[in-house]
């Protein structure tokens, strides 16, 4: 793999069973390239992307705001 291919990742059909499936690009872009690095056993991502996924899951959305009924 030359430097340009390494920088842009691998295409969907190039992924193997042990390839990281983290989509490259901005969050709402169409995923054209994927990381492709070797995965952690039992996970779909490499070590770096697994950390990112777990950080995002922990931060996650805020709990819904509950308005109190002030009628008496």
Its domain, for residue 32, covers 3-59
Specify the higher pLDDT residue, 51 or 3. Answer: 51
Residue 72 and residue 62: Cα distance in Å, rounded?
Answer: 29
- 40 lies in some domain: yes
CA distances from 29 to 20, 33, 40, 51, 57 (A): 18, 11, 26, 21, 20
- 54 lies in some domain: yes
The mean pLDDT value of the chain amounts to: 79
Total number of domains constituting the chain:
1
pLDDT in tens, 13-42: 999 999 999 999 887 788 889 999 999 998
């Amino acid at each position: 793999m030359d430097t340009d291919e390494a920088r842009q990742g691998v295409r969907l059909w190039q992924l193997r069973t042990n390839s990281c499936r983290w989509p490259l690009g901005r969050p709402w872009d169409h995923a054209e390239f994927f990381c492709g690095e070797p995965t952690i056993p039992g996970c779909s991502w490499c070590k770096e992307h697994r950390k990112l996924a777990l950080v995002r899951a922990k931060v996650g959305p805020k709990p819904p705001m509950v308005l109190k009924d002030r009628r008496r």
